[in-house]
Structure 1
C-alpha cells in the first residue's frame, strides 16, 4: 500500500467527498478516484458505499480507525527525519491558548504530545484572544488557539469550530429539573458575567435585553472557569460555552437554552505572512483539532494542516 493512498482515503473519510478531498490535496478528481480504486484492489474490500451520500462500509470504518494510528506514526517519523536532517534533536514550542481550551482540552493534548516527542518542551501562555493576538505580534508565541480577537492585518484567524451556549445552574435552582429553557424563563436571575469588553458577554446581554429588558441582575466574575463554583452555591447562574461545561461539576446542572443563537468560534490565530510551519508545529495544531474532533465537535481543519494531510 502507498502511504498517499491511505492519506487520500483518510481525507475523503473526514470530508465525506471525493471533490473536497481533491481540493484539499490539490490533485485532480480522477487521481483521487484512481488512488481509492488501487487501495480497494490491494485490500480486496470496498471502502465506501457510493450513493446519494458517501459513507464508509463497515470494513472501511475499521480500516479508517486503524489508518489514523498509521498516519500519526508516519507524521512522527516525518518529524524525526526532519530533526535528523537539521541535526536539532531537541527544541521548544510556545503557544497561546484561551480558556476553557487551555484548562479542559490542552492537558490531554500535551500528555499525548510529550509521549510522542519527549525532547520537545511545550510552553502554554493562557490568555484571552486579544492578549494572544498581541503576543503573536510580539513574536513570543508561534500560534494561538482562541476565540475571535480584534483582527489586525498582520494576523489570520481561521475558525476550527463554532461552540454553543448552555445555562449552568445549581442543583438547588428551580430550573435544574428542566431540559430546556428560554431567555424569558431567566427573568430576575443573577447572571455571572465575564468582563464588559468580552464579545460573548456583549452578545448575551443584547439578546437578554431584547427578550426580558432590564429584568435581570449581574455579578462580574472575570475568570470564566470560576463561574461553576459560584453557581454551585446558588449565587447566580451562568451562560457559557458547551466546551466550558463539558465536564460535569458536582452540585450543578447544564440546561440547554432554546433561543440563544450565539455560536462563539474557537480558532487558529497565525501570522498572515506565515507561509508554512515546520512539521512539529503542524503536528501540535493537528493534535489540538483532533482532540476537539474526538469530543464530537464539528471541526474544520485549518488550511495549513489540510495541505499536509
Structure 2
C-alpha cells in the first residue's frame, strides 16, 4: 500500500499532464480551424469553439440521462427487464407515497412562503435609513451552505430528556422550558418534522427572494408612484395595483427558481434526519435507493421522475424571462 506522500506527487503529475494534453489538443484544433479561409471560415471557427461544450454535454449530461432512463426499466440488480414496475412501485408503495407527499409539502409551501417573506421584507425596508444593513441580515443565510444551515438548525431543534437538572442546548426547547412547557423531540413526529425542515429552506431562500424583488421594486418609475399617491391610493392599494403588477415577472422568476431548488432538495433532509421519521423526499430517496439499498432500478426511476417534474418549471421560467425581456 502506498502512503499519501508517495501517491500525491504522482497524482499531481498526472493532473498536470492531462491539463497540458487538453491545452495542446485544443491549440491544434483551433490552429487548424484558423487556417480555414473564405465564406465558411467563421462558421468553422464557431463550430470548433462549440464542439468541446457539445461533447461535454453529450458525455456528462445526455448520455447519463438516457442511461438512467433505460436503467429505470430494470430490476434492483440491473439485470432483468421489468418494464414500468419501478414506476408502479413509486405510486403504490406506502413508503414511496410518503416520499411523494413530503415532496408536495416542500414544493407547495417553500416557494410561496419564502417569496412572501422576501417580498414583505423588501417592501418594509425599502428606502429605510439602515436599508443595506437590514438586507444584509436576511441575505446572510444565502452565504451558508445547505449542510451548514442544517447543522445550525439541528442545534436549534436539539432535544435532551427532561430529567433532573438537565439543561436544554436547543434554542427552541429552551424557549419551551422557559415558558413552562416540556421539551419535545421536534424532528421525530411526522408530518411536523417535515415542516420544520422546510423552515430551514425558507430561512435560506428568503434572502434570495428579497434581493431580486427589492431590485424590481426600485425599478418601478417614480412618476407612477407619485401619481398614485396624488390620487389618494392607500398603502394596500399601492401594493395591489402598482407594486405587485409591476414586479410580477420578478415574482414569477423567484417562485419558479425556488421551486426548482426545492424539488432537488437533498442536503437539508440528509443532514438533519437522514430521511428517517417519514421525512424523505424524492432526491434523498433516489440517493438512498441507489447507494444505500443498492436498488439501481428504483433509484433510476426516482431520478427520472425528478427530472420530469423539473422540466416544466424550467421551461415556464425561461418563457417568463423571455416575455419580461420583450416588454
Per the normalisation by structure 2, the TM-score is 0.31
Flag the structure with larger Rg: 2
Per the normalisation by structure 1, the TM-score is 0.32
Instruction: Choose between structure 1 and 2: higher strand proportion.
Output: 1
Instruction: Choose between structure 1 and 2: higher helix proportion.
Output: 2
